[in-house]
Structure 1
Amino acid sequence: MSDLSNRMHASTNKIASEHTRTDTSKSTSEKLGLDNPAFWYSGGFIALFVAIAVFDADLLSTLVNTGFAWSVKIFGPYWQMLLLLTFLIGLGLAAGRTGKVILGGLAEPEIDGFRWMAIIFCTLLAGGGVFWAAAEPIAHFVSPPPLYGPQENPQQGAVNALSQSFMHWGFLAWAIVGSLTSIVVMHLHYDKGLPLKPRTLLYPVLGERALKGHTGAIIDACCIIAVAAGTIGPIGFLGLQVSYALNALFDIPDGFTTQLIIILFAIALYTLSALSGLNRGMQMLSRYNVILAMALMVYVLIFGPTNFIFNAYIQGVGSMLDNFIPMATYRGDEGWLSWWTVFFWGWFLGYGPMMAIFIARISRGRTIRQIITTISIVAPFVTCFWFTIVGGSGLAFEIADPGSVSKAFEGFNLPGALLAVTQQLPLPMLTSILFLILTTIFIVTTGDSMTYTISVVVSGETEPNPVIRTFWGVMMGVTALILISLGSGGISALQSFIVITAVPVSLILLPSLWNAPQIAMKMAKAQGL
């Protein structure tokens, strides 16, 4: 092991010294990423999207809806197979001798286990995991998924609703955002010295062409646009949803001024956190947010419908495992799929390459088994339990008093569903406020990690210039503000656009299905396993 450790440290020192040499020779424009065509492609595209939204919202809506319909129809079946294969191949690598392979050129992990898991949970679960946790189970309870159909027994209907929600936020969703792709990126970056950029994922297929010129820049730009769209959306939703909740709780006007203040506060928080780097702001925010989430889970478990939560979790997970392949491959109702399964797959796919880079950055010294079991197994089970705590409580309240949650959810009102749940718990005002704080910090941790990762890709630095971090942080927040100022149409157009961006990104992720196993086997041999 000491020999392996020495080889790893030598390799890391070599990369670090090469990085330092290039660092000192870089001009200011290079450090800011202004010489990188990916900056202009991605920034220009986002600016064009906003300009069309401002000047001709109807045109944007037509373009986006056409693109959305085409994307889900043509690519929906491919995405379903891509996610399923990514998860299954990852499990195979973790279970075999390749699971012992240490990634990142360090013999020991850089970040301790709790903080590492806290960052992963907060970044990937994001704010969606709070509002959707309350809203999705009640949505499936009111309108049963086609695979299950209507149920005479409301308890069984509740289990089926949770099972479908587990499918969307469970194994496949987590696996695509950082299992196989992380293996490819970590090997090519830390062992081969290739850049920490999405283009590196296509190096085994395209060779040097992927790293240089406009081909590499377009690959990076597609991934930046996808992850920016996927982050701008939740920032916008945060403004709309917290504004709604403040109005319901304190009669604060639910208008653009309130939304503006909330989003400006979020921008300030996540930009400062991104500026402070991985070892300070991001770790601190993630740690406190996980502690708050755990405290709320315990509180709801004790004072909420405890028996229902445990029974629904066990039965819901059992039902999800029993129907895992049928749900993963379901193609019976394409209209339903396009607004549920395929919509979520598009959203998570968009995060894939950039999350691989982020996980590669925080996971040095971890084994393939640790990364895959944490991301593809542990995190999904915890997420499912979280959905049962929040959404399961809502279902229990709805069964006991029909309409107590479903009425608040009418019109697809996500924050309405969450408040309908928290208002039926003891200390409803305090519980509601804590859930809003939790949501805000979840979205802030997603904002800061994506701001940091985009800055890494654009600048080519593992510690990007503060100016470029601030630019991307502020730009994403301001874009969200412009879109919500146009009314619900702006954010809903962005929501559908997220799925369109998944088309090129899903093609970038495809080669990892065979490249990750090849790399893992080669590294197992090199490490004498």
Structure 2
Amino acid sequence: MKKISNVFYIAVGLIILVVIYGALSPESFEAVTANAKNFVASRFGWYYMLLMSFMAILSVYFIFSPYGNIRLGKDTDRPQFSTITWIAMLFSAGMGIGVVFYSAAEPLSHFAISPATEDPNTDAAFKEALRQSFFHWGFHVWAMYGVIALSLAFFQFRKGEPGLISATLKPIFGKKMEGPWGIFIDVLAVFATSFGVATTLGFGAVQINAGLHYLFDITISIKSQFVIIAVVTVLFVASAWSGLSKGIKYLSNTNLVLAFILLGLIIILGPTLLIFNMFTESLGGYVANLIPMSFRTAPLDPDNREWLDTWTIFYWAWWISWAPFVSMFIARISKGRTIREFMIGVLAAPTLLGTFWFSAFGTTAIDIQKKGLTDLTIPSTELTIFEMFNVMPMSLFISVLAIFLIASFFITSADSATFVLGMQSTNGSLTPPNNVKLTWGIIQSTIAIILLSVNGLTALQNTIIIAALPFSFVMLLMIVSLIKALKAELKLIKSKKD
């Protein structure tokens, strides 16, 4: 394949080794990765909390700093995509399928097993459940994605560097980033991206299978999930083949339309007034408690600490492991925007959309649970949302719509990742060859199918969370490099004016 880099061959070799280990010895694979994940969570939880808080503070600084007027590209460049399409693409690639998967299940879990000092199944726990869901899916996550994407976009479009993680470190390490160290960093990014997306393919197939079983009694089995992955693979490869401005753009806009229709139905058919009141109350509580939640480690409360390891610290590591993929995709679609416009968009739009989404689905699920209409704590996570729909009017239509939305998000995430993996393995090409994207599409789907067949997805999830720790150090270096380059750029702009 033309344009292919050494990063591709090294990353694929590592991926094959891990998949073979997971397929031949799944129990050992899961035990080893679980122990390593638990070690990282218990020993570095404080570090993740500080890191994500630092990202949040830094993202706000960029908005109000003198750097805000610098354009991500030439001064004459303008955005390639409209603001609505851009936001749709941000949301779809960033966490689309997850907000459907966890929108009812997570707030319900926090309500039934309260994360703070509140007693479970109380009004106080209700408010806390929504605040914690906002926290895990809100401002901090998008701040981290935004800062890393800003670094990639600045170096790629303003300074003319290739779209690679390693290229952002040249102000610190110079030509060394074009050698083995640069390859190592890019391989780490490809490794995290490929396994992260394979995990999403696996979990997405499981949820679609669960929904089809619930609605049409289709058997929950590896055969059904294999067919689902095969169909989705054909669709997302076809989308990736058509290019960024066609496939992903149209899919993202479709996602936004379907998501708003589903959200509107939940608001109308659910406890409408309660949803709006809980959104307002919980959003205020989220803002008021943002600082305490950001630095909470519960060192003297073992039970609370265990909850933090399971939820908050797990999420921070999970989002960091997704940063190479999501941030690179955000950077790719953001050429022509100013730093201020970019950061405000990345921070505000997905955060507000996410908080309102969790308010609608979380409030509806908890209200059903409180009224005793059904016990939503019994079903598995992938079935919770369908059980919730079952006690609502128009349940069949809503469930079918949700399956279509999950599938659409599913295809978009895989499509976006295929594009990004193509970039990372062709020296940062903005238009990776179709045969490279096709190869990555097949690799991702094969990983998902093999590890689904041996129940290895949990171990795979553990693996990328472990990979998040070394990548977090790369992120810090990217920030140092970015600030150094921005200072030099500002001096250059001032000298031109003088």
Which residue in 2 is equivalent to 1:344? 315
Give the alignment's TM-score, normalised by structure 1: 0.89
| Helix, strand or coil at the partner of 2:104 | helix
Which residue in 1 is equivalent to 2:437? 469
Pair 1:272-2:238 in alignment: yes
Question: 1:205, CA displacement in angstroms?
Answer: 2.3
Which residue in 1 is equivalent to 2:82? 112
Pair 1:324-2:290 in alignment: yes
Question: 1:522, CA displacement in angstroms?
Answer: 4.0
Which residue in 1 is equivalent to 2:142? 174
Write the mapping of 1:236-251 to structure 2, written as runs, cut at 5 A.
236-251=202-217
| Helix, strand or coil at the partner of 1:254 | coil
Within 2, Cα distance between the matches of 1:148 and 1:474? Answer: 47
> After superposition, what is the alpha-carbon deviation per residue over 1:434-463, rounded to whole angstroms, capped at 9, x for unaligned?
111111111211111111011011012211
1:187–1:519 CA contact under 8 A, matched in 2:
no
Question: 1:498, CA displacement in angstroms?
Answer: 2.0
Match of 1:128 among 88, 98, 104: 98
Pair 1:231-2:231 in alignment: no
Within 2, Cα distance between the matches of 1:111 and 1:37? Answer: 32
Which residue in 1 is equivalent to 2:346? 375
Which residue in 1 is equivalent to 2:18? 49
2:70–2:339 CA contact under 8 A, matched in 1:
yes
Pair 1:292-2:262 in alignment: no
> After superposition, what is the alpha-carbon deviation per residue over 1:109-132, rounded to whole angstroms, capped at 9, x for unaligned?
111111111111111022111111
Partner amino acid for 1:114?
I
CA separation of 1:158/1:39 partners in 2, compared to 1, >3 Å: closer, same or farther?
Answer: same
Which residue in 2 is equivalent to 1:155? 123
1:166–1:384 CA contact under 8 A, matched in 2:
yes
Question: 1:162, CA displacement in angstroms?
Answer: 0.6
Which residue in 2 is equivalent to 1:84? 53
Within 1, Cα distance between the matches of 2:326 and 2:42? Answer: 26
| Helix, strand or coil at the partner of 2:391 | coil
Which residue in 1 is equivalent to 2:301? none
Identical pairs, percent? 28
> After superposition, what is the alpha-carbon deviation per residue over 1:403-440, rounded to whole angstroms, capped at 9, x for unaligned?
432233xxxx1122111222222210110111111111
Pair 1:283-2:249 in alignment: yes
Question: 1:266, CA displacement in angstroms?
Answer: 1.2
Deviates more, 1:512-521 or 1:466-475: 512-521
> After superposition, what is the alpha-carbon deviation per residue over 1:220-264, rounded to whole angstroms, capped at 9, x for unaligned?
011111111211111101111111121111111111111111111
Within 2, Cα distance between the matches of 1:415 and 1:447? Answer: 19
Within 2, Cα distance between the matches of 1:150 and 1:204? Answer: 52
Pair 1:448-2:437 in alignment: no
Match of 2:184 among 206, 218, 221: 218
1:201–1:509 CA contact under 8 A, matched in 2:
no
Which residue in 2 is equivalent to 1:24? none
Write the mapping of 1:302-313 to structure 2, written as runs, cut at 5 A.
302-313=268-279
Within 1, Cα distance between the matches of 2:281 and 2:164? Answer: 42
> After superposition, what is the alpha-carbon deviation per residue over 1:118-165, rounded to whole angstroms, capped at 9, x for unaligned?
1111110221111111110001011100x343157x332211101011
CA separation of 1:70/1:201 partners in 2, compared to 1, >3 Å: closer, same or farther?
Answer: farther
Question: 1:184, CA displacement in angstroms?
Answer: 2.1
Give the alignment's TM-score, normalised by structure 2: 0.94
1:242–1:436 CA contact under 8 A, matched in 2:
yes
1:198–1:354 CA contact under 8 A, matched in 2:
no
Write the mapping of 1:397-408 to structure 2, written as runs, cut at 5 A.
397-401=368-372, 403-408=374-379
| Helix, strand or coil at the partner of 2:258 | helix
Within 2, Cα distance between the matches of 1:164 and 1:186? Answer: 31
Which residue in 2 is equivalent to 1:390? 361
**What is the aligned length?**
488
Which residue in 2 is equivalent to 1:69? 38
Pair 1:95-2:61 in alignment: no
Partner amino acid for 1:110?
Q
Aligned residues: CA RMSD = 1.7
Within 1, Cα distance between the matches of 2:203 and 2:373? Answer: 28
Within 1, Cα distance between the matches of 2:95 and 2:432? Answer: 25
Within 1, Cα distance between the matches of 2:311 and 2:341? Answer: 30
Question: 1:76, CA displacement in angstroms?
Answer: 2.1
Partner amino acid for 1:138?
L
Within 1, Cα distance between the matches of 2:62 and 2:94? Answer: 22
Structure 1: 5+ residue stretches without partners: 1-28
Which residue in 2 is equivalent to 1:199? 166
Match of 1:362 among 314, 333, 340: 333
CA separation of 1:315/1:108 partners in 2, compared to 1, >3 Å: closer, same or farther?
Answer: same
